[in-house]
Amino acid sequence: MLAVPPNSSKPPVVSIRGLTKVYGNGFKALKSVDLDIREGEILALLGPNGAGKTTMISIICGLVNPTDGQVTVGGHDVVRDFRETRSMIGLVPQELTTDQFETVINTVSFSRGLHGKGKDTALIERILKDLSLWDKRNNMLRELSGGMKRRVLIAKALAHEPRILFLDEPTAGVDVTLRRDMWQVVNKLRQTGVTIILTTHYIEEAEEIADRVGVINAGELLLIENKRTLMKKLGSKQLRLELTRPIAAVPPGLESFELKLIDDGHALIHDYAADETLGNGHDSRIAALMKALAAADVPLSDISTHQSSLEDIFVKLIGERA
């Protein structure tokens, strides 16, 4: 449920057209990517190592120059209007590169100043409290645990009140508590209208918090889709029927359901598409299957269904392109 619904009638907050990146060694990391990011959405970019996710984020943030194509943020070109676009963006990189001898509060406050924003002690206090860093505000960065350093990275990115927040692999290698905390922070931010783009290898992360999912592989955007639509469109369902006693073969009269007999005749499997829901016929097909099973005197003891996860879909997609 969205507190601030992505408004598709408004122009996209980030617009990417024909984005191509060829690195100095001739490697083509992005191949003419088109993508619109809507204001207020949470977009998860999934892709294996080396897919081009960081390259794309770095170009949007103005840290890497595109070879071809155009990117606008809030209507401004990221190359020509670098200062304007950069001030709208908060970037949480994979690693902390700031001075390890600086204190938490100074690092975060300094970050606000870097973007030309005036001092706001109340805001910095709120950010540090939200990220459970307030007690550590006077500690030097080198004294913090890896998880705490991650929190500092987020605090730094939020210090200048960005409209768009990029999180590059935010939960790689963090523990469960920190991951939960981060998701909470992300959800809270979304409620204030901030657009959030995260790259991740963790598909369950995308499944849990994203509104839309983009899949990048070998420099190409393979798809971009509303998460639920994606799971309906590409997902599959399986109905498993446990039997009270084994049967030797699928009984006659059930051929049209393409049942598979498994577990030495102890169970039957029926595969169907996840988008065959109420209204387009599938319910009646399941009902027909139940009737046919009863008519054929199939000894049922239990029924269960399994829906493919985003992970199954992702592995299938990447596998098809490999």
Is 86 a binder of ligand ATP (CB under 6 A)? no
Sketch the per residue contact string, 10 through 39, with ligand ATP: x for CB under 6 A, - otherwise: -------------x-x-x-x----------
> Is 43 in contact with 212 (CB distance < 8 Å)?
yes
Per rule CB under 6 A, count of chain residues that contact ligand ATP: 12
> Is 212 in contact with 44 (CB distance < 8 Å)?
yes
> Please, what is the angle between helix 121-130 and helix 146-158, to 10°?
140
Q: How far apart are CA 258 and CA 289, in angstroms?
A: 10
- CB nearer to ligand ATP: pick between 25 and 121: 25
Task: From residue 219, give the alpha-carbon distance in Å to each of 14, 135, 215.
Answer: 18, 42, 10
Segment contacting ligand ATP (CB under 6 A): 47-55, 77-85, 203-211, 263-271?
Answer: 47-55
Q: How far apart are CA 300 and CA 243, in angstroms?
A: 5
The correct pick among 55, 85, 109, 217 for binding ligand ATP (CB under 6 A) is: 55
Task: From residue 28, give the alpha-carbon distance in Å to each of 25, 57, 169.
Answer: 9, 16, 22
Structure tokens at 80: 């020509």
Indicate the residue type of 180: R
Q: Shortest distance, CB of residue 215 to ligand ATP, whole angstroms?
A: 11
Is 49 a binder of ligand ATP (CB under 6 A)? yes
The correct pick among 13, 44, 51, 239 for binding ligand ATP (CB under 6 A) is: 51
Segment contacting ligand ATP (CB under 6 A): 43-51, 103-111, 148-156, 253-261?
Answer: 43-51
Paired sense of beta strands 260-262 and 267-273, if any: antiparallel
Q: How far apart are CA 163 and CA 40, in angstroms?
A: 9
The correct pick among 5, 8, 10, 50 for binding ligand ATP (CB under 6 A) is: 50
Q: Shortest distance, CB of residue 25 to ligand ATP, whole angstroms?
A: 5
Segment contacting ligand ATP (CB under 6 A): 52-60, 65-73, 179-187, 308-316?
Answer: 52-60
Contact residues toward ligand ATP (CB under 6 A) are: 23, 25, 27, 29, 47, 49-55
